[in-house]
Structure 1
Protein backbone atom coordinates (compact mmCIF):
# COMPACT_ATOMS: atom_id res chain seq x y z
CA UNK A 1 0.00 0.00 0.00
CA UNK A 2 1.21 3.48 -0.71
CA UNK A 3 0.97 6.78 -2.53
CA UNK A 4 2.28 6.04 -6.03
CA UNK A 5 1.47 9.40 -7.71
CA UNK A 6 0.28 8.14 -11.09
CA UNK A 7 -3.04 10.00 -11.39
CA UNK A 8 -3.31 9.37 -15.14
CA UNK A 9 -3.55 5.56 -14.88
CA UNK A 10 -7.01 4.20 -15.60
CA UNK A 11 -6.99 1.03 -13.49
CA UNK A 12 -10.34 -0.14 -14.85
CA UNK A 13 -8.99 -0.15 -18.44
CA UNK A 14 -5.36 -0.89 -17.49
CA UNK A 15 -4.24 2.08 -19.61
CA UNK A 16 -2.33 5.34 -19.45
CA UNK A 17 -0.78 7.91 -21.78
CA UNK A 18 2.33 9.06 -19.88
CA UNK A 19 5.58 7.13 -20.34
CA UNK A 20 6.47 7.02 -16.63
CA UNK A 21 3.00 5.76 -15.71
CA UNK A 22 3.11 3.20 -18.53
CA UNK A 23 6.38 1.83 -17.12
CA UNK A 24 4.83 1.59 -13.66
CA UNK A 25 1.75 -0.14 -15.05
CA UNK A 26 3.93 -2.59 -17.00
CA UNK A 27 5.88 -3.37 -13.82
CA UNK A 28 2.64 -4.04 -11.93
CA UNK A 29 1.37 -6.31 -14.71
CA UNK A 30 4.71 -8.09 -15.23
CA UNK A 31 4.76 -9.00 -11.55
CA UNK A 32 1.18 -10.30 -11.61
CA UNK A 33 -0.02 -7.65 -9.17
CA UNK A 34 -3.61 -6.50 -8.77
CA UNK A 35 -4.66 -3.02 -7.65
CA UNK A 36 -7.74 -3.19 -5.39
CA UNK A 37 -8.73 0.42 -4.59
CA UNK A 38 -11.65 1.51 -6.75
CA UNK A 39 -12.29 5.11 -5.65
CA UNK A 40 -10.23 8.30 -5.87
CA UNK A 41 -8.09 8.91 -2.78
CA UNK A 42 -6.96 12.49 -3.41
CA UNK A 43 -8.85 15.29 -5.17
CA UNK A 44 -10.57 12.98 -7.66
CA UNK A 45 -7.38 11.02 -8.46
CA UNK A 46 -6.47 7.48 -7.45
CA UNK A 47 -2.97 7.99 -6.03
CA UNK A 48 -3.02 5.67 -3.03
CA UNK A 49 -2.97 2.05 -4.12
CA UNK A 50 -3.14 -1.39 -2.57
CA UNK A 51 -1.24 -3.90 -4.68
CA UNK A 52 -1.57 -7.63 -4.07
CA UNK A 53 -0.43 -10.74 -5.88
CA UNK A 54 -3.49 -12.82 -4.96
CA UNK A 55 -7.11 -12.07 -5.75
CA UNK A 56 -9.18 -12.22 -2.56
CA UNK A 57 -6.24 -11.52 -0.23
CA UNK A 58 -7.42 -7.96 0.49
CA UNK A 59 -11.04 -7.13 1.24
CA UNK A 60 -13.39 -4.63 2.85
CA UNK A 61 -11.58 -1.63 1.32
CA UNK A 62 -13.11 1.62 2.58
CA UNK A 63 -12.14 5.26 2.31
CA UNK A 64 -12.49 6.95 5.68
CA UNK A 65 -11.97 10.68 5.09
CA UNK A 66 -8.78 12.61 5.68
CA UNK A 67 -6.72 12.70 8.84
CA UNK A 68 -5.67 16.11 10.14
CA UNK A 69 -4.35 18.39 7.39
CA UNK A 70 -3.81 15.61 4.84
CA UNK A 71 -5.59 15.93 1.50
CA UNK A 72 -5.50 12.13 1.01
CA UNK A 73 -8.28 9.81 2.10
CA UNK A 74 -7.44 7.27 4.79
CA UNK A 75 -7.77 3.75 3.42
CA UNK A 76 -9.02 0.96 5.64
CA UNK A 77 -8.82 -2.67 4.49
CA UNK A 78 -8.59 -6.20 5.78
CA UNK A 79 -6.15 -8.93 4.89
CA UNK A 80 -8.25 -12.06 4.59
CA UNK A 81 -6.86 -15.21 6.22
CA UNK A 82 -8.16 -17.78 3.71
CA UNK A 83 -6.35 -16.07 0.86
CA UNK A 84 -3.22 -15.71 2.99
CA UNK A 85 -3.04 -19.50 3.40
CA UNK A 86 -3.38 -19.89 -0.36
CA UNK A 87 -0.68 -17.25 -0.83
CA UNK A 88 1.78 -19.09 1.40
CA UNK A 89 1.09 -22.24 -0.58
CA UNK A 90 2.00 -20.38 -3.77
CA UNK A 91 5.17 -18.93 -2.28
CA UNK A 92 6.53 -22.41 -1.53
CA UNK A 93 6.21 -23.91 -5.00
CA UNK A 94 9.11 -26.21 -5.88
CA UNK A 95 9.87 -25.53 -9.54
CA UNK A 96 12.45 -28.32 -9.69
CA UNK A 97 9.53 -30.75 -9.37
CA UNK A 98 7.15 -28.88 -11.70
CA UNK A 99 5.46 -30.66 -14.58
CA UNK A 100 6.47 -28.30 -17.35
CA UNK A 101 5.33 -30.73 -20.05
CA UNK A 102 1.81 -30.67 -18.57
CA UNK A 103 2.02 -26.88 -18.18
CA UNK A 104 3.00 -26.50 -21.86
CA UNK A 105 0.23 -28.91 -22.86
CA UNK A 106 -2.42 -26.99 -20.89
CA UNK A 107 -1.39 -23.67 -22.42
CA UNK A 108 -1.10 -25.30 -25.86
CA UNK A 109 -4.76 -26.40 -25.73
CA UNK A 110 -5.98 -22.81 -25.60
CA UNK A 111 -7.08 -21.43 -28.99
CA UNK A 112 -5.03 -18.24 -28.58
CA UNK A 113 -5.96 -16.84 -32.00
CA UNK A 114 -9.62 -16.93 -31.07
CA UNK A 115 -9.15 -15.91 -27.41
CA UNK A 116 -7.14 -12.81 -28.35
CA UNK A 117 -8.81 -11.99 -31.66
CA UNK A 118 -9.38 -8.28 -32.18
CA UNK A 119 -7.64 -7.35 -28.92
CA UNK A 120 -4.55 -5.22 -28.47
CA UNK A 121 -1.74 -5.90 -26.03
CA UNK A 122 -3.48 -4.09 -23.15
CA UNK A 123 -6.66 -6.16 -23.50
CA UNK A 124 -4.82 -9.42 -24.22
CA UNK A 125 -2.56 -9.34 -21.17
CA UNK A 126 -5.26 -10.04 -18.51
CA UNK A 127 -6.57 -12.96 -20.59
CA UNK A 128 -3.10 -14.45 -20.99
CA UNK A 129 -2.28 -13.85 -17.32
CA UNK A 130 -5.50 -15.56 -16.20
CA UNK A 131 -4.84 -18.62 -18.34
CA UNK A 132 -1.23 -18.78 -17.12
CA UNK A 133 -2.28 -18.65 -13.46
CA UNK A 134 -5.00 -21.23 -14.04
CA UNK A 135 -2.53 -23.63 -15.67
CA UNK A 136 -0.12 -23.07 -12.77
CA UNK A 137 -2.69 -24.34 -10.29
Structure 2
Protein backbone atom coordinates (compact mmCIF):
# COMPACT_ATOMS: atom_id res chain seq x y z
CA UNK A 1 0.00 0.00 0.00
CA UNK A 2 2.84 2.39 0.84
CA UNK A 3 4.47 1.68 -2.52
CA UNK A 4 1.19 2.36 -4.32
CA UNK A 5 0.65 5.63 -2.41
CA UNK A 6 4.20 6.75 -3.16
CA UNK A 7 3.67 5.99 -6.84
CA UNK A 8 0.45 8.02 -6.87
CA UNK A 9 2.18 10.98 -5.23
CA UNK A 10 4.99 10.78 -7.78
CA UNK A 11 2.56 10.76 -10.70
CA UNK A 12 0.59 13.69 -9.26
CA UNK A 13 3.82 15.64 -8.86
CA UNK A 14 4.75 14.93 -12.47
CA UNK A 15 1.34 16.04 -13.70
CA UNK A 16 1.33 19.30 -11.72
CA UNK A 17 4.85 20.23 -12.83
CA UNK A 18 4.38 19.35 -16.51
CA UNK A 19 4.78 22.98 -17.59
CA UNK A 20 8.19 23.25 -15.97
CA UNK A 21 9.45 19.74 -16.75
CA UNK A 22 7.80 18.40 -19.90
CA UNK A 23 10.71 16.07 -20.69
CA UNK A 24 10.37 14.03 -17.49
CA UNK A 25 6.59 13.89 -17.86
CA UNK A 26 6.56 12.54 -21.41
CA UNK A 27 9.47 10.20 -20.69
CA UNK A 28 7.42 8.60 -17.92
CA UNK A 29 4.32 8.42 -20.13
CA UNK A 30 6.24 6.81 -23.00
CA UNK A 31 7.71 4.19 -20.67
CA UNK A 32 4.20 3.35 -19.46
CA UNK A 33 2.91 3.02 -23.01
CA UNK A 34 5.54 0.53 -24.08
CA UNK A 35 3.97 -2.77 -25.02
CA UNK A 36 4.99 -6.06 -23.53
CA UNK A 37 7.84 -7.94 -25.14
CA UNK A 38 6.66 -10.31 -27.83
CA UNK A 39 6.99 -14.02 -27.26
CA UNK A 40 10.33 -15.44 -28.37
CA UNK A 41 10.55 -17.48 -31.57
CA UNK A 42 9.64 -21.11 -30.96
CA UNK A 43 10.66 -24.46 -32.39
CA UNK A 44 7.88 -26.77 -33.53
CA UNK A 45 7.84 -30.57 -33.24
CA UNK A 46 9.65 -30.90 -36.58
CA UNK A 47 12.50 -28.61 -35.57
CA UNK A 48 11.33 -25.60 -37.57
CA UNK A 49 11.56 -22.10 -36.10
CA UNK A 50 8.27 -20.19 -36.18
CA UNK A 51 8.00 -16.42 -35.76
CA UNK A 52 4.40 -15.48 -36.54
CA UNK A 53 2.14 -15.05 -33.51
CA UNK A 54 -0.47 -17.46 -34.87
CA UNK A 55 2.17 -20.13 -35.45
CA UNK A 56 3.71 -19.67 -32.00
CA UNK A 57 0.27 -19.94 -30.39
CA UNK A 58 -0.37 -23.18 -32.28
CA UNK A 59 3.03 -24.63 -31.25
CA UNK A 60 2.37 -23.87 -27.57
CA UNK A 61 -1.19 -25.15 -27.77
CA UNK A 62 -0.01 -28.41 -29.33
CA UNK A 63 2.64 -28.89 -26.67
CA UNK A 64 0.41 -28.05 -23.70
CA UNK A 65 -2.27 -30.42 -25.02
CA UNK A 66 0.29 -33.21 -25.52
CA UNK A 67 1.27 -33.12 -21.85
CA UNK A 68 -2.16 -34.36 -20.80
CA UNK A 69 -2.84 -38.07 -21.16
CA UNK A 70 -5.98 -40.15 -21.19
CA UNK A 71 -5.14 -41.29 -17.71
CA UNK A 72 -5.86 -37.80 -16.37
CA UNK A 73 -9.55 -38.55 -16.71
CA UNK A 74 -12.31 -38.05 -19.22
CA UNK A 75 -14.97 -35.38 -19.54
CA UNK A 76 -17.04 -34.18 -16.63
CA UNK A 77 -19.38 -36.81 -15.25
CA UNK A 78 -17.45 -39.65 -16.91
CA UNK A 79 -16.15 -41.08 -13.66
CA UNK A 80 -17.81 -44.21 -12.21
CA UNK A 81 -20.77 -44.04 -9.84
CA UNK A 82 -19.10 -46.43 -7.42
CA UNK A 83 -16.65 -43.71 -6.40
CA UNK A 84 -19.08 -42.70 -3.68
CA UNK A 85 -19.30 -45.40 -1.03
CA UNK A 86 -23.01 -46.24 -0.78
CA UNK A 87 -22.52 -47.62 2.74
CA UNK A 88 -21.00 -44.39 3.90
CA UNK A 89 -22.96 -41.17 4.17
CA UNK A 90 -21.09 -38.39 2.37
CA UNK A 91 -20.20 -35.34 4.39
CA UNK A 92 -22.05 -32.31 3.04
CA UNK A 93 -19.96 -29.23 2.51
CA UNK A 94 -21.30 -25.95 3.95
CA UNK A 95 -23.72 -23.93 1.86
CA UNK A 96 -22.56 -20.81 0.07
CA UNK A 97 -23.58 -18.19 2.57
CA UNK A 98 -24.32 -14.73 1.22
CA UNK A 99 -22.02 -13.13 3.81
CA UNK A 100 -19.05 -15.25 2.73
CA UNK A 101 -19.60 -14.48 -0.94
CA UNK A 102 -19.95 -10.77 -0.19
CA UNK A 103 -16.73 -10.76 1.83
CA UNK A 104 -14.76 -12.46 -0.96
CA UNK A 105 -16.16 -10.09 -3.57
CA UNK A 106 -15.32 -7.02 -1.49
CA UNK A 107 -11.71 -8.21 -1.17
CA UNK A 108 -11.12 -8.93 -4.86
CA UNK A 109 -7.92 -7.41 -6.22
CA UNK A 110 -9.00 -4.89 -8.90
CA UNK A 111 -5.60 -5.19 -10.54
CA UNK A 112 -6.01 -8.89 -11.33
CA UNK A 113 -6.77 -10.00 -14.87
CA UNK A 114 -10.26 -10.91 -15.99
CA UNK A 115 -11.27 -14.09 -17.80
CA UNK A 116 -12.60 -14.65 -21.33
CA UNK A 117 -16.08 -13.51 -20.23
CA UNK A 118 -14.80 -9.95 -19.78
CA UNK A 119 -16.11 -9.57 -16.21
CA UNK A 120 -13.61 -7.32 -14.46
CA UNK A 121 -12.82 -7.91 -10.75
CA UNK A 122 -13.16 -4.18 -10.07
CA UNK A 123 -16.79 -4.27 -11.20
CA UNK A 124 -17.56 -7.25 -8.97
CA UNK A 125 -15.82 -5.61 -6.04
CA UNK A 126 -17.80 -2.38 -6.40
CA UNK A 127 -21.07 -4.33 -6.70
CA UNK A 128 -20.29 -6.86 -3.95
CA UNK A 129 -23.48 -6.24 -1.96
CA UNK A 130 -25.72 -6.42 -5.03
CA UNK A 131 -24.07 -9.55 -6.46
CA UNK A 132 -23.63 -11.54 -3.25
CA UNK A 133 -27.15 -12.99 -3.09
CA UNK A 134 -27.61 -14.05 -6.76
CA UNK A 135 -24.08 -15.45 -6.90
CA UNK A 136 -24.56 -17.45 -3.68
CA UNK A 137 -27.67 -19.02 -5.25
CA UNK A 138 -25.81 -19.82 -8.47
CA UNK A 139 -22.85 -21.25 -6.54
CA UNK A 140 -25.06 -23.47 -4.40
CA UNK A 141 -27.00 -24.79 -7.39
CA UNK A 142 -23.79 -25.41 -9.31
CA UNK A 143 -22.32 -27.50 -6.49
CA UNK A 144 -25.51 -29.47 -5.83
CA UNK A 145 -25.88 -30.45 -9.48
CA UNK A 146 -22.15 -30.81 -10.12
CA UNK A 147 -22.51 -28.67 -13.24
CA UNK A 148 -20.05 -25.90 -14.06
CA UNK A 149 -21.16 -22.99 -16.30
CA UNK A 150 -19.53 -23.21 -19.73
CA UNK A 151 -18.01 -19.72 -19.40
CA UNK A 152 -16.14 -20.85 -16.29
CA UNK A 153 -14.48 -23.67 -18.21
CA UNK A 154 -12.84 -21.24 -20.64
CA UNK A 155 -9.52 -19.55 -19.97
CA UNK A 156 -7.04 -17.17 -21.52
CA UNK A 157 -3.70 -18.99 -21.50
CA UNK A 158 -0.54 -16.98 -20.85
CA UNK A 159 2.78 -18.82 -21.40
CA UNK A 160 5.35 -18.04 -18.70
CA UNK A 161 9.00 -18.89 -19.38
CA UNK A 162 10.51 -21.00 -16.60
CA UNK A 163 14.14 -21.60 -17.53
CA UNK A 164 16.36 -22.84 -20.34
CA UNK A 165 16.10 -22.18 -24.05
CA UNK A 166 13.25 -19.81 -24.90
CA UNK A 167 12.74 -21.53 -28.25
CA UNK A 168 11.75 -24.78 -26.53
CA UNK A 169 7.98 -24.82 -25.82
CA UNK A 170 8.66 -27.33 -23.04
CA UNK A 171 10.28 -24.55 -21.03
CA UNK A 172 7.03 -22.61 -20.73
CA UNK A 173 4.36 -22.95 -18.05
CA UNK A 174 0.74 -22.22 -18.97
CA UNK A 175 -1.11 -19.84 -16.66
CA UNK A 176 -4.89 -19.91 -17.03
CA UNK A 177 -6.86 -16.70 -16.54
CA UNK A 178 -10.38 -17.92 -15.82
CA UNK A 179 -13.68 -16.23 -15.04
CA UNK A 180 -13.67 -14.14 -11.86
CA UNK A 181 -17.02 -15.52 -10.53
CA UNK A 182 -15.67 -19.03 -11.07
CA UNK A 183 -12.52 -18.18 -9.13
CA UNK A 184 -14.62 -16.92 -6.20
CA UNK A 185 -16.55 -20.19 -6.06
CA UNK A 186 -13.29 -22.15 -6.31
CA UNK A 187 -11.98 -20.34 -3.23
CA UNK A 188 -15.01 -21.34 -1.18
CA UNK A 189 -14.92 -24.98 -2.31
CA UNK A 190 -11.16 -25.21 -1.80
CA UNK A 191 -11.42 -23.83 1.73
CA UNK A 192 -14.21 -26.28 2.63
CA UNK A 193 -12.45 -29.31 1.12
CA UNK A 194 -9.14 -28.42 2.78
CA UNK A 195 -10.79 -28.02 6.17
CA UNK A 196 -12.61 -31.34 5.79
CA UNK A 197 -9.42 -33.17 4.84
CA UNK A 198 -7.53 -31.64 7.75
CA UNK A 199 -10.28 -32.53 10.22
CA UNK A 200 -10.36 -36.09 8.89
CA UNK A 201 -6.56 -36.31 8.84
CA UNK A 202 -6.62 -36.76 5.08
CA UNK A 203 -3.56 -34.54 4.80
CA UNK A 204 -0.52 -35.99 6.51
CA UNK A 205 1.45 -33.82 8.96
CA UNK A 206 4.53 -34.44 6.82
CA UNK A 207 3.05 -32.50 3.89
CA UNK A 208 4.34 -28.94 3.68
CA UNK A 209 3.51 -28.00 0.09
CA UNK A 210 0.27 -26.13 -0.65
CA UNK A 211 -0.59 -25.73 3.03
CA UNK A 212 -1.17 -22.45 4.79
CA UNK A 213 1.58 -21.59 7.25
CA UNK A 214 3.97 -24.10 5.70
CA UNK A 215 6.62 -23.78 3.02
CA UNK A 216 9.89 -25.17 1.69
CA UNK A 217 11.57 -23.65 4.74
CA UNK A 218 9.41 -25.51 7.26
CA UNK A 219 9.93 -28.69 5.23
CA UNK A 220 13.72 -28.27 5.37
CA UNK A 221 13.64 -27.55 9.10
CA UNK A 222 11.66 -30.74 9.76
CA UNK A 223 13.96 -32.74 7.49
CA UNK A 224 17.10 -31.28 9.08
CA UNK A 225 15.79 -32.07 12.57
CA UNK A 226 15.21 -35.74 11.68
CA UNK A 227 18.60 -36.10 9.98
CA UNK A 228 20.58 -34.52 12.83
CA UNK A 229 18.68 -36.66 15.36
CA UNK A 230 19.65 -39.86 13.53
CA UNK A 231 23.25 -38.74 13.06
CA UNK A 232 23.53 -37.93 16.77
CA UNK A 233 22.45 -41.51 17.47
CA UNK A 234 25.24 -42.78 15.24
CA UNK A 235 22.92 -44.07 12.53
CA UNK A 236 23.50 -43.83 8.79
CA UNK A 237 21.24 -41.55 6.79
CA UNK A 238 20.43 -42.11 3.12
CA UNK A 239 18.38 -39.57 1.19
CA UNK A 240 16.54 -40.22 -2.08
CA UNK A 241 15.25 -37.24 -4.06
CA UNK A 242 12.44 -37.81 -6.56
CA UNK A 243 11.11 -35.34 -9.09
CA UNK A 244 8.09 -36.24 -11.20
CA UNK A 245 8.14 -34.50 -14.57
CA UNK A 246 4.88 -32.63 -15.31
CA UNK A 247 3.34 -34.16 -12.18
CA UNK A 248 0.44 -31.73 -11.93
CA UNK A 249 -0.38 -32.03 -15.62
CA UNK A 250 -0.37 -35.82 -15.77
CA UNK A 251 -1.82 -36.83 -12.41
CA UNK A 252 -4.83 -39.12 -12.77
CA UNK A 253 -8.04 -37.23 -12.07
CA UNK A 254 -9.87 -40.48 -11.31
CA UNK A 255 -7.35 -41.35 -8.60
CA UNK A 256 -7.82 -37.92 -7.02
CA UNK A 257 -11.60 -38.32 -7.15
CA UNK A 258 -11.37 -41.74 -5.51
CA UNK A 259 -9.28 -40.31 -2.67
CA UNK A 260 -11.70 -37.41 -2.14
CA UNK A 261 -14.68 -39.78 -2.21
CA UNK A 262 -12.98 -41.96 0.41
CA UNK A 263 -12.95 -38.94 2.71
CA UNK A 264 -16.70 -38.47 2.39
CA UNK A 265 -17.08 -35.76 -0.22
CA UNK A 266 -20.52 -35.79 -1.83
CA UNK A 267 -21.16 -36.58 -5.47
CA UNK A 268 -22.07 -33.00 -6.43
CA UNK A 269 -18.74 -31.69 -5.20
CA UNK A 270 -16.83 -34.52 -6.90
CA UNK A 271 -18.56 -33.81 -10.22
CA UNK A 272 -17.86 -30.11 -9.84
TM-score of the two chains, using structure 1 as the length reference: 0.29
**Which structure is higher in helix share?**
2
TM-score of the two chains, using structure 2 as the length reference: 0.18
**Which structure is higher in strand share?**
1
For the pair shown, the structure with the greater C-alpha radius of gyration is 2
